[in-house]
Amino acid sequence: MIGKWKWFRLAPPQVLTLGFAAIILIGAILLTLPISNTTGKPLNFMDALFTATSATCVTGLVVKDTGLYFSTFGQVVIMLLIQIGGLGFMTMATLIALVFKRRISLRDRLLLQEAMNQNTMEGIVRLIRKVIFFSLTIEGCGALLLAIRWSFDMPLGKAIYFGIFHGVSMFNNAGFDLFGHFNSLTGFVYDPLVNFVVMFLIVSGGIGFIVMSDLVDYQVHRKLSLHSKVVLSMTGALIVVGAVVIFIFEFTNPKTLGSLNWGGKILASLFQSVTPRTAGANTLNLADMRQASQFFTIILMFIGASPGSTGGGIKTTTFTILVGAVIAMIRGRDDIVLYRYRLAQERIFKALTITFLALFLVVGVSMILSTTEDSSFLMILYETTSAFGTVGLSLGLTPHLSLIGKILICLTMFAGRLGPLTFAYALGPKKGKELYRHPEGKIIIG
């Protein structure tokens, strides 16, 4: 199988990086074809590359209106890129191997372990089977419910097509939509079915396949792993806190919640709290929100989804470890304890490294964009964080980016999808075993 290829001698992070890059390039070439858009003219390569990167990295930032500019062929290409990017190209390669009953080599299992962010290869192929089953089942149910709802507003065939596209897009936390004029789901702010189906797709795609597997097996084992407990509790806490904060900040804003009734206010607040989990859909005009709400959304986008999911960001588990470290330090304790389990020092160092690399990337790109783009710094920071977290929420800057801006945002989306640590490993030298340790030193902190 794939393990026999010579380039698979590279380290797993390097293979994943090259694999995603190859998919993006193929997608960009397909999107440049005249058949991919409604104008009948070739799309310039930079815009095609940006769209392919956004789709493969399941981000949702767009320079061309997906629903109006791209033809059905182009939209299907985008949907396939979203599916491959959301599940990961190694998962798709494994699916093909399983269909043709090919053997999954040890090298392939190592790559799958890296792609799924697992600590061990044990049961990795079984997990991949579950990933594929969960994904297709949840996407199918979401597509069916959305198609039924939209069949009242459009022809049945179009409703089914819209249901499938948005089912795939929302479960994979991509945020691409077909409603045109960059309006996303603002026309459904009062619609409970569309809101709750989309929120379910976003959350289920964002908690990670390991957690899904744990929840399905709960009836058998009657317990959840520490990872699942942390992900579910932090996800729930962020959604509730986010909804309350947005509700408070936007309650009197006549351009957002102020014009809605109480039901609409609660539903819109909840949706706008869920969608920064790297989904990219919105039912309110984000540019009309107050700066406090926009900045709070930046924080939610930076945290992002959970490990082993279709989302980006530093991840909920990383944020939990950081909060745990602060609490432990304040209490004067040496260990971070979660649900009566002590975390290894290696986990803490990894969380700090991921956070620092992410901050360095977001701040660095934002500083450069502030010199190349004619826009406010908050808008630039919002767009950059959205790209890093593979969210896709936008205040309207993306379609007006300069060439340098598009390249930087593309690289940010790419790094955000792979994860800053994986990206750093792919570019960095191979680690070797340390032959000695230096004497311990002390510095003053605080």
Least confident of 66-70, 329-333, 344-348, 440-444: 440-444
User: What pLDDT does residue 432 have?
Assistant: 56
- For residue 312, pLDDT over 80 is answered with yes
Best CA proximity match to 359, nearest among 409, 413, 420, 307:
420
- For residue 258, pLDDT over 60 is answered with yes
User: What pLDDT does residue 363 have?
Assistant: 96
Best CA proximity match to 16, nearest among 95, 87, 100:
87
Least confident of 71-75, 95-99, 242-246: 95-99
pLDDT band at 143; cut points 50, 70, 90: very high
Least confident of 13-22, 185-194, 221-230: 13-22
Structure tokens at 242: 């986010």
- Taking the CA atoms of residue 253, residue 255, residue 256 and residue 261 in that order, the dihedral angle to the nearest 10 degrees is 80
Structure tokens at 120: 């061990």
- For residue 336, pLDDT over 60 is answered with yes
User: What pLDDT does residue 382 have?
Assistant: 96
pLDDT band at 220; cut points 50, 70, 90: confident
DSSP β-bridge partners for residue 70: 37
pLDDT band at 412; cut points 50, 70, 90: very high
**246 neighbors 142 (Cβ within 8 angstroms):** no
**121 neighbors 113 (Cβ within 8 angstroms):** yes
Domain ranges of the chain: 2-424
Average pLDDT over residues 112-126: 57
Q: Which helix (H) or strand (E) holds 95?
A: helix 89-99
Least confident of 4-8, 352-356, 390-394: 4-8
pTM listed for this prediction = 0.88
DSSP per-residue codes, 178-232:
SSSTT-TTGGGTT-HHHHHHHHHHHHHHHS-HHHHHHHHTHHHH----HHHHHHH
Distance CA 425, CA 417 (A): 14
pLDDT band at 34; cut points 50, 70, 90: very high
User: What pLDDT does residue 4 have?
Assistant: 46
User: What pLDDT does residue 8 have?
Assistant: 45
- For residue 212, pLDDT over 90 is answered with no
